[in-house]
Structure 1
């Protein structure tokens, strides 16, 4: 049912609708971002959307949502936090978010997008704690970009198996994240060695 709704929204509203859904949807609709993003990847593989345009629209919506949560925390953080803590639905993710904040500090913003539930509250909590916007943007936006760079291609390549992927999401994302990290590290080390050889010759 979720897939049909998302595909209908994409067909009827295109890139702008996609951007708005990823921006506002996190606060209104209980559809996981993984499902939306992989469905968008699937739609791109079917030719409904251009992959580059779809990727940009999704990332823009995610950045807008993160920034909105951060701003809400900064402007009206205390009353909202009191409200959330009184609701059982929100209190556990908030406690988990605070533990991750204590453990990883600003780096937790990059990690958090790989943890459903936590990703929605950490930007708010960092806004409330008055973390400078530049620091917030560096870690939050880069973490979201890394997450999207893994999840979007999954939808593009394996969109027909969205339910299976979502069921084993954390294991898949961790594995792909490690592979991506090794790949980037290998490229950087190789580039440094090439530069070193060039200096020696």
Structure 2
């Protein structure tokens, strides 16, 4: 059912649909990343779609999304800090990031929803874009490769 819908979307929009599914996540488009990447992996490993095209579009979409949210934190950082300085969740997240820094940056990309919030705090913290790219992009590559491999594993179990 889901795979049939995705195939129809790919037929209509091309592989761009995988890019958009990941790129639009932080902007309120509720597309479950894990399901999308597993479905893409299963479809590509079964020979229906090109695996390199799917993987490249998924990774590019995720990198675009986390880069945009990093710059949201960088550009609107002071305004966000003033607005949410009394918010308990904001204070806890800020404290967590300050305590764990690079590890929080790497691990934050691995978890749903958090992967789009952590880059905002990284941008708020004043970290250079270069350091952000090195750590967060590495994490994104690990996450996408891991889930893409799970898709192949699930395909073997299903069939």
TM tier relative to shorter chain: 0.7 to 0.9
* Residues 37 and 94 (structure 1), Cα distance of their counterparts in 2 relative to 1, 3 Å cut: farther
- In structure 2, relative to structure 1, the CA distance for the partners of 1:83 and 1:106 (3 Å cut) is same
TM-score, with length taken from structure 1 = 0.66
Kept in 1, the 8 Å contact 2:73–2:122? The answer is: yes
Change (3 A) 1:72 1:157: same
Q: Are the structure 2 counterparts of residues 81 and 51 from structure 1 closer, same or farther at C-alpha, using a change threshold of 3 Å?
A: farther
Partner of 2:120: 124
Q: 1:84 to 1:2 in 2, by over 3 A?
A: farther
Which consecutive residues of structure 1, in runs of 5 or more, have no partner in the other structure?
163-201
Shift of residue 109 of structure 1? 1.4
Deviation, 1:102, is: 2.9
Cα deviation code 1:172-196 (max 9, x no counterpart): xxxxxxxxxxxxxxxxxxxxxxxxx
Q: Is 1:141 matched up with 2:137? A: yes
2:33 maps to 33
Asked if structure 2 preserves the Cα contact closer than 8 Å seen for 1:24 and 1:65, the reply is yes
Q: Is the 8 A contact 2:26 2:69 kept in 1?
A: no
- Residue 28 of structure 1: CA displacement? 2.3
1:107 and 2:103 correspond: yes
TM-score w.r.t. length of structure 2: 0.81
Aligned pair in 2 of structure 1 residues 55, 104: CA closer, same or farther (>3 Å)? Answer: same
Given the superposition, is the C-alpha separation of residues 95 and 155 from structure 1 closer, same or farther in structure 2, using an over 3 Å criterion? farther
Task: Compute the displacement of 1:44 (Å).
Answer: 1.0
Give the number of the structure whose alpha-carbon radius of gyration is greater: 1
Deviations 1:84-112 (A, max 9, x none): 789xxxx7875664354133212221111
Q: More helix per residue: 1 or 2?
A: 1
Q: Are 1:110 and 1:139, in contact at CA under 8 Å, matched by a contact in 2?
A: yes
Q: After superposition, what is the alpha-carbon deviation per residue over 1:110-136, rounded to whole angstroms, capped at 9, x for unaligned?
A: 111222222111101111222100110
> Would the alpha carbon gap of residues 61 and 84 (structure 1) be closer, same or farther in structure 2, given more than 3 Å must change?
farther
